[in-house]
Amino acid sequence: MTTEIRERAGKSKDIIKKDKKTFFEFTNRTTAFDGVKKDEFAHKGEVCCKLSTYWFKIMEREGIPTHFRAFVPPNTMEVEHLEIIPVEVICRNFVAGSLLRRHESGDTIPAGIEPRLGAKIPDPIVEFTTKFEAVDRPIDHEEILKNGWLTREELDSIAECTRKVNDIMKKRLSDKGIILADFKIEFGKNSAGEILLADELGTPDGCRFWDMDSYENGEIVSLDKDVYRYDKGDLSDVYQRIYQRICE
């Protein structure tokens, strides 16, 4: 007898436990501004699942271990069960989003960065935020270590892995005329205590993608969830177009 247990994994995905296997179902749910704005868009879950599958396979080939096990069409993937580390990792190549808002609210930002939307960051920066809090907030290494979420060695390893993911994605996207402005990723530990890249990867939900030609002409054209956040167009159309540009 097959037993299926479904639980909501987050704002846009459900977890399904079936025959001792774990599956992520990518839904059409869409949220912004910490859940204040909510909608559903056709094909969104399918696009994000296919893009995550595409990138996870690339990372595995590049020697980066992930929780991905198999793609189950049209919008589900089998994954290795992990205990998710309560820390999100953000990698920034250009100034946008919360980094710019921090400056605008009077907080300090890393030295050498021009506080202007679209400004290129000389060397990519890796930052950390909380996860599972009502509103995620930036955290430093000391707080992560103090809470026992990671050891120093694990923290350094995750930062190094994130930079490698950034290098791989930037190169492939640049070849397709797409700028990777920033992205967020998550990690988890399996039953053996190994840290794996988890959740989703390389989707317009978790990345800021900009059209390269437009940027070079002085305009930022978003190819990601900013289209929904700031009412810049039809999210379903943008997500399908970015999928085609990356994968086809």
Q: Give the pLDDT band of residue 247 (cuts 50, 70, 90).
A: very high
Who wins on pLDDT, 103 or 100? 100
* Backbone dihedral angles phi then psi of residue 180, each to the nearest 5 degrees: -95, 100
Q: Are 223 and 188 in contact (CB under 8 A)?
A: no
Closest Cα partner for 204 from 24, 45, 35?
45
Closest Cα partner for 111 from 97, 98, 125?
125
pTM: 0.95
Considering the segment(s) 83-234 as one domain, its CATH architecture is 2-Layer Sandwich (3.30)
CA trace torsion 154, 188, 174, 160 (10° rounding): 0
Count the alpha carbons within 13 Å of 35 in the hemisphere toward its beta carbon: 7
For the chain, give the percent of residues with pLDDT over 90.
85
Q: What pLDDT, on the 0 to 100 scale, is given for residue 11? A: 83
CATH 3.30.200.20 domain residues, the chain:
4-79
Q: What pLDDT, on the 0 to 100 scale, is given for residue 44? A: 97
Q: Mind listing the pLDDT tens digit for each residue in 17-76? A: 998 899 999 999 999 987 789 999 999 999 999 999 999 999 999 999 999 999 999 999
Average pLDDT for residues 228-238, to the nearest whole number? 95
Q: Mind listing the pLDDT tens digit for each residue in 110-133? A: 889 999 999 999 999 999 999 988
Cis peptide before 74 (omega within 30 of 0): yes
Whether residue 7 has pLDDT greater than 80: no
The matching CATH number, chosen from 3.40.630.10, 3.40.50.970, 3.30.200.20, 3.30.300.130, for 4-79 is 3.30.200.20
Its sign, for the CA torsion 114, 229, 244, 168, is positive
Q: Mind listing the pLDDT tens digit for each residue in 176-219? A: 999 999 999 999 999 999 999 999 999 999 999 999 999 999 99
Token pair recorded at residue 133:
């809090």
Whether residue 136 has pLDDT greater than 70: yes
Whether residue 1 has pLDDT greater than 60: no
Q: What is the largest CA-CA distance in the chain?
A: 60
Place of tokens 């704005």: 37
163 in helix, strand or coil? helix
Q: What pLDDT, on the 0 to 100 scale, is given for residue 2? A: 57
Q: What pLDDT, on the 0 to 100 scale, is given for residue 8? A: 65
CATH 3.30.470.20 domain residues, the chain:
83-234
Count the alpha carbons within 13 Å of 107 in the hemisphere toward its beta carbon: 10
Q: DSSP assignment of 35-50, as one string?
A: TTEEEE-TTHHHHHHH
Q: String of b and e for 202-231 (b: at least 16 CB within 10 Å)?
A: bbbbbbbbbbeeebeeeebbbbbbbbbbee
Q: What pLDDT, on the 0 to 100 scale, is given for residue 9? A: 60
